[in-house]
Amino acid sequence: MTERRRQQNFISQLLQKPVEDLLMNQSNRFREIQEQREVISRGLPAIESGHGCRMGSEFWTVPQRFGDELSGITATLTQTERGNPQPITHIAQPHSTRLESGSVLSDGSVSRAWNQSQYLQRRQHELGDILREMDFNQPDMDALEVVGSNQPFTSSVECSPLLEEEEEERMEGEHKENEDPLAFYDDVMLDVELVPALRFCGELACWTGTAISHQGEVGISARLTFEAVVGESACSHLELKNEGSTAIYYSWHRLARPHSFTEARSQRYTQYFYFNTSTAVILPGDTECILFTFKSMYPGILSEVWQLHTHPVLLGGASLQVTLRGVALYQDKTADQRAALELELEQRKTKSVCRSMVYELLRNVHTPERPRSPPQLYITEEEHFLASNPNLHYHHEPVEALKRLWEQAHRSKVIGLGKAESEHITVEIPVWDLDVDHLRQVVLGLPQEDTESEGVMCREEALRQCNSLILQLHQPQPPTKPLTLHCIGLQLWRELCDGLVSEALWIRHMLGLPENNKWGDAQHEQDSCEDTDTFKHSLLHHNSCVILL
């Protein structure tokens, strides 16, 4: 408060203004003005309608809606917006506090001018009864103050002689309890070392009198092994017990270890072991349990070495080391799914093999193919004749005459042998195989002289006919005239013209039209026919020339 008054006086002298007119003291009564405004605002809806957000909701607020009624959302209202305002809280400074702090407002201040407003006085007069009901607790803040002193409170109490005797007896009893009963015996050994000592993982590390005698050596080495599944944590603890007579400060420091695969080593350090590495202190007789947690997101074997630094230095500077070794096991989470897939694939493989075996078996079990027709059925008579008689040429008429000669020779041979006594008996004559040698043998088997029986040929007649026909077969066939484009085009145009005439006559017949020969004389018709033939011939000749071009 003294500093505040000093600062106010300094600013007042600097600005040449009184302390009451400083800006830092103008807002002290702003809280009082806001409380009066809040009370008047709550009382206005009782005498005037429409004071608020909307007509008919002077004492509460309509919820705000975002969107339509079906798919939109409605904002939640506070207790004040629902019509349940909180009680008015009065916060102010008493007159003595303002006077002490130098924030007493002058008569010409802004706050004083607002309190003397006629509109405010008229509103307070209109809402007098309502304001007294709403703000019934109106404490006199100027008279409300707490008086205190910076001097400590002291009091004296007189005790009776009986109470003094009881107090003396109690103090003597406590003194006897605190005395060491073994202090008067020289052969008693003390359990507590009178030097700094720390039990580290069951091994005692004591003060040796120097801090550098064993520096660089490993005094005590402990090992903690962790084993956990990837993504899960494993915990272990290490105990530190102060068995000395002084407090021991300690801190942890991670030692760098040589990496076997330097090139594959990551440049970024990843933490796998978690524990409290901050500096701490162990009081004599206290035990500190340090919790180590191991967690890795990748499978593998991880290890770190941490050194415990103590103050005072124990074991002559020899290091206290803890080796943390963690084994992160890979959990095969998809073993069941892979087993199910392997079983399904094995079943599919079995089905596929069985299906292929059945198909292969059915492919071999089938009806025999239909026998093909002999190639002799597709050989023409000309090809057969040329194959049997390669030195001859095929002519249709001589070959047919040879066939008739074959039949007559067989019939004459049968009749000559007397196997057919009656003409009504049917004689089976074999079909000639178009071989001239076979025909000649049959002809040579005929009788030499003529017989009186009809239909019987003699050998000479048959040989004469056979030789004449074979002589014709020795002559080659005349070359056929090849078809030219002119002949082909001429034939096509003839077929087209004939087709047009036929279609015209058919249409005339279908439509029932009369014939053209009923008009005109015969001479005119003859001339017309001649002209038509001439026109057709010229047209055909012209078209054939066009085709040849």
Note the pLDDT of residue 415. Answer: 73
Torsion angle, CA of 160/165/170/173, rounded to 10 degrees? 170
Per-residue pLDDT, 77: 81
Q: Centre a 10 Å sphere on the Cβ of residue 160 and count the other Cβ atoms it contains.
A: 8
CA distance 324 to 320: 13
If you compute the radius of gyration of the chain from its CA atoms, what whole number of angstroms results?
Answer: 70
Ordered domains of the chain (ranges, CATH): 2-134 (no CATH), 197-258+269-329 (2.60.40.10), 377-474 (no CATH), 485-513+522-548 (no CATH)
State the pLDDT at residue 155.
45
Nearest C-alpha neighbor of 450 from the set 441, 465, 463, 461: 461
Q: 29, exposed or middle or buried, with CB in 10 Å at 0-12, 13-18, 19+?
A: buried
Predicted TM-score (pTM) of this structure: 0.34
Q: Split the chain (549 residues) into runs of 10 and give each run's mean pLDDT.
A: 80 82 73 81 73 55 76 82 77 76 60 71 80 69 67 50 63 54 50 76 86 86 92 91 90 84 69 90 90 91 92 89 92 89 95 94 84 80 89 90 89 67 62 89 80 68 90 85 88 94 91 69 52 52 40
pLDDT value for 181: 52
DSSP E strands in 352-462: the ranges are none
Please tell me the predicted confidence (pLDDT) of residue 193.
Answer: 55
C-alpha 111: how far from chain center: 69
The pLDDT, as a whole number, for residue 489 is 93
pLDDT the model gives residue 337: 93
Total residues found in the chain within this entry:
549
Sign of the four-CA dihedral 239, 244, 246, 251:
negative
Residue 442 CB neighbours (<10 A): 20
